[in-house]
Amino acid sequence: GDSVTQMEGPVTLSEEAFLTINCTYTATGYPSLFWYVQYPGEGLQLLLKATKADDKGSNKGFEATYRKETTSFHLEKGSVQVSDSAVYFCALPPSSNTGKLIFGQGTTLQVKP
Amino acid sequence: DVKVTQSSRYLVKRTGEKVFLECVQDMDHENMFWYRQDPGLGLRLIYFSYDVKMKEKGDIPEGYSVSREKKERFSLILESASTNQTSMYLCASGYSGRNEKLFFGSGTQLSVL
């Protein structure tokens, strides 16, 4: 069935370091892929989205490219800030077309000054 | 901006109590969802609703029920709260169809003592 696997955290980086959070997926067809972010004490909010193979989603300096060949959607940022400390979730919609999303287990990022 | 409002940010209940978690959205979304978030387990879908009075079980419905009498409101009910239901509960809403994003509330941290 459809599923999402994220790298385990927590990830601890110094400010201005390069970030990669790995996400791989199993899906029927070619669904959109999502990254959501959850800041401390808040709900999830959409960070970026890619709708088809080779598409690149980007927002707030974060990027992720939809790789059909490797079934991956890794999240990257060139220079992280303390304010990026949050939990990041990779997600995809299942093939059942109900509007649901399947989420990965989440990766906690802590950025130290 | 879309708003998904959860009635309580923190809730403390006793074992055996009946608990109601309320969620209201203001975007006329067809779909509404209740997820549970636990460390290391990510988000797990409890129930979702695709129309008024319509519901479907998610991955972990045991011990929960839901009610959707009006399109904008979706309630999660713990018939007899137990300590293993201590968790963060997240409500979300969205349009029907695959590839639609979800909008989340801020969450309710429920502690069952």
Contacts of B107 in chain A (CB under 8 A): 42-43
pLDDT of A17 above 90: yes
Residue A97 banded pLDDT, cuts 50, 70, 90: low
| Token pair in block for residue A61 | 């300096």
Contacts of A44 in chain B (CB under 8 A): 43, 90, 92, 102, 104
State yes or no: pLDDT of A113 exceeds 70.
yes
Counting residues of chain B whose pLDDT is more than 70, the rounded percentage is 99
- Nearest C-alpha of chain A: how many angstroms from B71? 16
Given a contact cutoff of 8 angstroms between Cβ atoms, the answer to whether B16 and B81 are in contact is yes
Structure tokens at B28: 């006329």
Beta strands A107-112 and A86-92 are antiparallel
Q: Between the CA of residue B112 and those of B18, B25, B36, B85, what are the distances in Å?
A: 11, 26, 14, 7
Chain A within 8 Å of B95 (Cβ-Cβ)? yes
Per-residue pLDDT tens digits of chain B, which is 113 residues long: 779 999 899 999 999 999 999 999 999 999 999 999 998 888 999 999 999 999 999 999 999 999 999 999 999 999 999 999 999 999 999 988 777 889 999 999 999 99
* Contacting residues of B for A89, CB less than 8 Å apart: 42-43
Summarize pLDDT for A58-76 with one digit per residue, the tens: 999 999 999 999 999 999 9
Please state, in angstroms and rounded to a whole number, the distance separating the CA atoms of residues B25 and B68. 12
